[in-house]
């Protein structure tokens, strides 16, 4: 069972990065939009491996249910739809590769170069899901703690975020409304 | 003739055994690899998550730099925000299960939702004005 957990972890990592590559490099924009689904689900699975159950659920709900739907609507509304085969152009592909590769090399070098002494590898693998796991003390449900944190330490950012969402809602409606031109 | 036939059969049998052996060796290597991978226990190391997040970040950056369509640029931004959230959650997990990082990831999600809605409204308007959603065509205010 232990081996299975590791193998499934690698599968999820491969799904995340593979579909992110499709998002970036595929020629048809609708394929990119649907490949984003795999990335979001993969990141949700990684959240589960990191014992963040509430975040994994909200990742699926908000990203897949909200943002991805919005993006697909955006794709269809900003193209003359004749078929699903909407090509998109890219530019500066090879010029862009250079700084991206440099930055990537720098990041990987920094991650491996830093001595994460305060943050050692976990002795026990993170156990997720199931009453038995909770009873065994492997993982704790995080929703309660997060809710408490949002209403105590993060109360001001929480209220500001609600104002931001309201403003974004009204602003997006105002922007996307159809105006008949007067002139 | 019969002798030769026997020779060839023996050769085939030998070959079969040899292939079988290589097959076995392959399986052995594979099992060893799996055991090695499990022994590393990549899912219990902080660096694994940091590397995944760095790769997502770089891919998002590439999408932002190379794509012409505004919606694709937005997808790159989403990738970058996901990478940031993953980093936050990983640090929170490896810092003794501190929930502060998860709260930050939650705020990132909120901001991503607001940003996606407003950006798509802008691209919709751009498409209405100029019949294209390509970001380098948005030069109406360029004197």
The minimal CB distance from B86 to the residues A43, A120, A168 is found for A43
Q: A52 pLDDT band (50/70/90 cuts)?
A: confident
The minimal CB distance from B68 to the residues A23, A43, A88 is found for A88
Reported as a single tens digit per residue, the pLDDT across A60-110 is 999 998 899 999 988 888 876 655 566 666 777 788 889 999 999 999 999
CA atoms within 13 A on the CB side of A7: 9
* Interface test mutation site (partner A, options B42, B90, B92, B121, max chain A beta carbons within 10 A): B121
Three-class SS state of A140: coil
Touching B: A residues 99-118, CB under 8 Å: 99-100, 103-104, 107-108, 111-112, 116, 118
ipTM: 0.84
Exposed / middle / buried, residue B2 (Cβ in 10 Å: 0-12, 13-18, 19+)? exposed
The predicted model scores a pTM of: 0.82
H-assigned helices in A26-177: 29-49, 53-58, 68-77, 93-113, 131-135, 143-151, 155-176
The minimal CB distance from A142 to the residues B46, B94, B102 is found for B102
Among A23-27, B33-37, B51-55, B80-84, where is mean pLDDT lowest?
B33-37
pLDDT of residue A49: 87
Rounded-to-integer distance, Cα B30 and Cα B35, Å: 9
pLDDT of B18 higher than 90: no
The minimal CB distance from A62 to the residues B41, B46, B109 is found for B109
Q: What is the DSSP string of A10-58?
A: HHHHHHHHHHHHHHHH-SBHHHHHHHHHHHHHHHHHHHHHTT-HHHHHH
Domains in chain B: boundaries: 3-141
Q: Decide if A71 and B49 are in contact by the 8 Å CB cutoff.
A: no
pLDDT of B46 higher than 90: no
The answer to whether A59 contacts chain B (CB < 8 Å) is yes
Q: Decide if A168 and B112 are in contact by the 8 Å CB cutoff.
A: no
Touching A: B residues 4-23, CB under 8 Å: none
- Record the tokens describing residue B25, joined without a space: 């060796």
Among A107-111, A130-134, B9-13, B33-37, where is mean pLDDT lowest?
A130-134
pLDDT of residue B1: 46
Output the CATH code of domain B3-141: 1.10.287.3510
The answer to whether B129 contacts chain A (CB < 8 Å) is no
């Amino acid at each position: 069972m232990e081996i299975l957990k590791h193998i499934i972890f690698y599968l999820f990592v491969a799904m995340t990065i593979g579909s992110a590559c499709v998002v970036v490099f595929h020629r048809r924009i609708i394929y990119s939009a649907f490949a984003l689904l795999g990335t979001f689900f993969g990141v949700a699975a990684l959240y589960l491996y990191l014992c963040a159950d509430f975040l994994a659920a909200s990742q699926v709900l908000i990203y897949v249910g909200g943002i991805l739907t919005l993006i697909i609507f955006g794709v269809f509304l900003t193209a003359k739809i004749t078929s699903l085969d909407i090509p998109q152009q890219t530019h500066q592909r090879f010029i862009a590769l250079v700084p991206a590769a440099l930055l990537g090399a720098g990041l990987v070098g920094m991650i491996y170069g830093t001595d994460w002494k305060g943050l050692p590898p976990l002795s026990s693998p993170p156990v997720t899901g199931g009453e038995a796991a909770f009873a065994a003390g492997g993982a704790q449900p995080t929703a309660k703690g997060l809710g408490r944190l949002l209403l105590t330490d993060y109360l001001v950012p929480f209220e500001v975020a609600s104002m931001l969402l309201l403003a974004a809602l009204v602003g997006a409606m105002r922007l996307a409304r159809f105006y008949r031109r007067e002139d | 003739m019969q002798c030769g036939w026997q020779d060839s059969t023996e050769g085939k049998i030998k070959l079969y055994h040899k292939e079988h052996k290589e097959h076995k060796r392959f399986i052995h290597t594979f099992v060893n690899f799996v055991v090695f991978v499990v022994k590393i226990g990549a899912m219990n190391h902080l660096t694994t998550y940091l590397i995944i997040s760095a790769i997502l970040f770089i891919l998002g950056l590439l999408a932002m730099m190379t794509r012409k369509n505004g919606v694709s640029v937005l997808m790159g931004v989403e990738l970058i925000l996901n990478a940031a959230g993953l980093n936050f959650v990983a640090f929170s997990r490896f810092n003794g299960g501190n929930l502060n990082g998860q709260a930050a990831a939650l705020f990132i999600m909120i901001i991503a939702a607001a940003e996606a809605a407003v950006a798509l409204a802008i691209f919709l308007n751009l498409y209405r004005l100029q019949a294209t959603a390509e970001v380098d065509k948005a030069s109406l205010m360029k004197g």
